[in-house]
């Protein structure tokens, strides 16, 4: 495979994605898009690499990477467990190192997304914070974006209301509606299609 062409189609790596949501958004616009995750692809796509993403991202033949590193040990909402659970602080440090490796990958354009997390205080503040309802999805999920050589995402379909408005994925008290279950983490990590479409349309150029 040759080096980055900076043209159309782009070679796009979606790191830490098994749902295929962002991969399909880029592929739908004609890009050579691949996802990579330790889990198999939910849609069984042949354009999915199951395994460690770091050597894949380090190959130097991608034009763009969208990375979704796991937030379990990074999200601010769970950091209080670090003082109560042996071994958890070390997992947070390992997760931060993983983020650093992704941001330093030899790829011209990079976007890394995560909820509000200690990435902001330990590495750097995000370039942008977006919500699914800025892009047509009736859901609330503050999504931080760390960008390299990419413009800020422009809102595409802002729904009525503001940050105080209860969305379809929320209870009246503002909590996520998903109840406890073995796959709750997996369901909550899936990208919303409106954001995925905006990434492909605005960054796939």
pLDDT digits (tens, 9 = 90+) for 6-56: 457 999 999 999 999 999 999 999 999 999 999 999 999 999 999 999 999
Least confident of 66-70, 79-83, 89-93, 147-151: 79-83
Q: Is pLDDT at 133 greater than 50 in this prediction?
A: yes
Residue of 38, 15, 11 whose CA lies nearest to 26:
11
- 50 CB contacts (<8 Å, ≥6 apart)? 36, 37, 38, 39, 40, 41
Distance set, CA 33 to CA 13, 114, 116, 187 (Å) = 6, 21, 27, 22
Q: How far is CA 11 from the centre of its chain?
A: 17
The more confidently predicted of residues 76 and 131 is: 131
Q: Is pLDDT at 174 greater than 60 in this prediction?
A: no
Length of the chain: 205
Q: What percent of the chain has pLDDT over 70?
A: 87
Q: How far is CA 173 from the centre of its chain?
A: 26
pLDDT at 172: 61
pLDDT confidence tier of residue 182, bands split at 50, 70 and 90: low
pLDDT confidence tier of residue 180, bands split at 50, 70 and 90: low
pLDDT at 86: 82
Q: What span, in angstroms and rounded, lies between the C-alpha atoms of 28 and 103?
A: 26
Name all domains of the chain by residue range, CATH numbers in brackets. 11-203 (3.40.50.150)
Q: What span, in angstroms and rounded, lies between the C-alpha atoms of 83 and 87?
A: 10
pLDDT confidence tier of residue 166, bands split at 50, 70 and 90: confident
CA 53-58-64 angle, 5° bins: 85
Least confident of 97-101, 151-155, 174-178, 181-185: 181-185
- 11 CB contacts (<8 Å, ≥6 apart)? 1, 4, 5, 31, 32, 34, 61, 62, 63, 64
pLDDT confidence tier of residue 135, bands split at 50, 70 and 90: very high
pLDDT confidence tier of residue 187, bands split at 50, 70 and 90: very low
Instruction: State the average pLDDT for the chain.
Output: 88
Q: Is pLDDT at 116 greater than 50 in this prediction?
A: yes
Average pLDDT estimate for 104-133: 96
Confidence (pTM): 0.87
Structure tokens at 77: 């909402």
């Amino acid at each position: 495979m040759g080096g980055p062409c900076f043209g159309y189609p782009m070679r796009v790596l979606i790191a830490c994605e098994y749902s295929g949501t962002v991969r399909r958004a880029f592929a739908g616009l004609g890009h050579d898009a691949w996802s990579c995750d330790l889990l198999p692809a939910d849609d069984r796509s042949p354009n999915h690499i199951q395994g460690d993403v770091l050597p894949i991202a380090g190959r130097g033949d991608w034009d763009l990477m969208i990375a979704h590193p796991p937030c379990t040990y990074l999200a601010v909402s769970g950091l209080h467990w670090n003082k109560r659970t042996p071994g958890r602080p070390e997992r947070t440090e390992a997760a931060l190192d993983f983020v650093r490796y992704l941001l330093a990958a030899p790829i011209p354009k990079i976007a890394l997304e995560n909820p509000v997390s200690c990435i902001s205080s330990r590495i750097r503040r995000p370039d942008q914070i977006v919500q699914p309802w800025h892009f047509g999805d009736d859901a609330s999920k503050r999504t931080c974006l760390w960008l390299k050589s990419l413009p800020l995402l422009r809102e595409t379909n802002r729904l009525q209301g503001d940050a105080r408005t209860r969305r379809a994925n929320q209870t009246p008290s503002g909590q996520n509606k998903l109840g406890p279950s073995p796959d709750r983490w997996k369901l909550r990590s899936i990208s919303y299609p409106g954001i995925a479409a905006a990434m492909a349309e605005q960054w796939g150029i």
